């Protein structure tokens, strides 16, 4: 019998159809062209409303980005009971779209647009768990209510994507595959990931991090942050108390700038997207409220890692995934989907 990998186990669906508290869950895949001109984002989502166990919708999202402002976004929706999921091997099937270990294929259409895809990747791990304590991933852990991890942090994606009839060929595009779930989307957050660098990297290198302001009861917390850089076969994690509660965090409508410290190591993050390269997305919550996601896969960023006994490592990229979520509708980005 085939053995389930750790990454597949991390991809297993957490929705419990007997739980009436409400649930939102996403598996997503992102790829960037090496020249920095194009990017693709594909997402499978489950949304179950609060107070109604066993019902809801399953969605497939796709956005194709071209630098300079062209963005095509689509979403297809089916009843949640029409979606199919398995854990070993991992497989998510929503309508005509399938995401499984090492592959994704299907299509979605809305608003007069259609995006289709047939792509594959080498499913190499290990997974990245950003939370410092594994107990925080427990379903009944009171904090955080929204969980996130990355089954595949550094992959190369090949195949094709067809955007309104125009076929894009993907040949070794760098990318990643993530998974998040919870009782709702975080009140506000910024998340970023990069694994394709214009300069600074020597060998496989990836960065991932987020800052979030979750609600605890009626109170919205200050920014809480977790970040990591994987370089030279070693992962430098900034998830201790000093980094988690860093006040050196600035989140703008289209930018994230922050500094994190752990022991003698320091990490500086400076990431920004042009407004024209951002897709506005409606993220509905199980309680019916709306979160606005400002989503770009063509952000520019500089990551500086300072380690004891070594010169600073400066990484630069124009292929950074940047997502900023807000409850404020006055964000200035046209909503695409």
Q: What average pLDDT values come out for the chain (337 residues) when binned by 10 residues?
A: 82 95 97 98 98 96 96 97 91 95 97 98 91 90 91 97 98 98 95 92 91 92 97 95 95 97 97 98 97 98 96 96 96 94
Other C-beta atoms lying within 10 Å of the C-beta of residue 32: 28
What are the C-alpha distances in Å from 210 to residues 93, 186, 250? 28, 11, 12
What pLDDT is stored for residue 88 in this prediction? 82
Q: Which residues pair with 261 in a beta bridge?
A: 266
Instruction: Identify the pLDDT of residue 37.
Output: 98
Alpha carbons 151 and 37: distance in angstroms, whole number:
26
As a whole number of angstroms, the distance between CA 70 and CA 63 comes to: 10
Tell me, rounded to whole angstroms, the distance of Cα 178 from its chain centroid.
Answer: 5
| Nearest CA among 287, 295, 333, 312 for reference residue 192 | 295
Please state, in angstroms and rounded to a whole number, the distance separating the CA atoms of residues 109 and 337: 11
How far is C-alpha 296 from the geometric centre of its chain's CA atoms? 11
Q: Is 8 helix (H, G, I), strand (E, B) or coil?
A: helix
**Nearest by Cα to 80 from 124, 16, 144:** 16
- Do residues 57 and 44 touch, judged by C-beta distance below 8 A? no
Find the farthest-apart pair of alpha carbons in the chain and give their distance in angstroms, rounded.
56
pLDDT at 2: 62
The alpha carbon torsion through 140, 141, 143, 145 (nearest 10 deg) reads -30
């Amino acid at each position: 019998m085939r053995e389930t990998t750790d990454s597949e186990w991390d991809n297993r669906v957490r929705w419990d159809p007997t739980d009436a508290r409400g649930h939102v869950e996403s598996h997503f895949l992102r790829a960037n062209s090496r020249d920095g001109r194009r990017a693709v984002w594909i997402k499978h989502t489950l949304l179950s409303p609060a107070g109604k166990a066993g019902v809801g919708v399953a969605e497939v999202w796709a956005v194709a980005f071209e630098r300079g402002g062209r963005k095509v976004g689509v979403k297809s929706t089916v009843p949640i009971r029409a979606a199919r999921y398995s854990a070993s091997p991992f497989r998510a099937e929503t309508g005509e779209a399938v995401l499984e270990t090492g592959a994704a294929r299907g299509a979605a259409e809305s608003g007069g647009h259609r995006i289709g895809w047939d792509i594959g990747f080498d499913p190499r791990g290990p997974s990245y768990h950003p939370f410092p304590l594994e107990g925080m991933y427990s379903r009944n852990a009171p904090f955080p209510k929204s969980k996130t991890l990355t089954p595949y942090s550094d992959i190369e994606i090949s195949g094709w994507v067809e955007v309104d009839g125009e076929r894009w060929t993907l040949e070794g595009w760098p990318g990643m595959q993530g998974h998040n779930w919870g009782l709702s989307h975080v009140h506000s957050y910024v998340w970023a990931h990069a694994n394709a660098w214009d300069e600074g990297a020597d060998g496989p290198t990836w960065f991932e991090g987020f800052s979030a302001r979750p609600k605890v009861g009626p109170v919205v917390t200050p920014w809480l942050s977790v970040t990591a850089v994987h370089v030279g076969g070693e992962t430098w994690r900034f998830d201790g108390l000093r980094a988690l509660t860093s006040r050196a965090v600035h989140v703008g409508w289209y930018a994230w700038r922050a500094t994190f410290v752990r022991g003698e190591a320091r990490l500086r993050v400076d990431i920004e997207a042009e407004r024209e390269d951002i897709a506005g997305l409606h993220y509905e919550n199980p309680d019916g409220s709306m979160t606005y996601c400002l989503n770009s896969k063509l952000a520019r960023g500089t990551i500086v890692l300072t380690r004891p006994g070594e010169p600073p490592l400066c990484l630069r990229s124009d292929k950074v995934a940047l997502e900023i979520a807000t409850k404020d509708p006055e964000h200035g980005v046209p909503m695409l989907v």
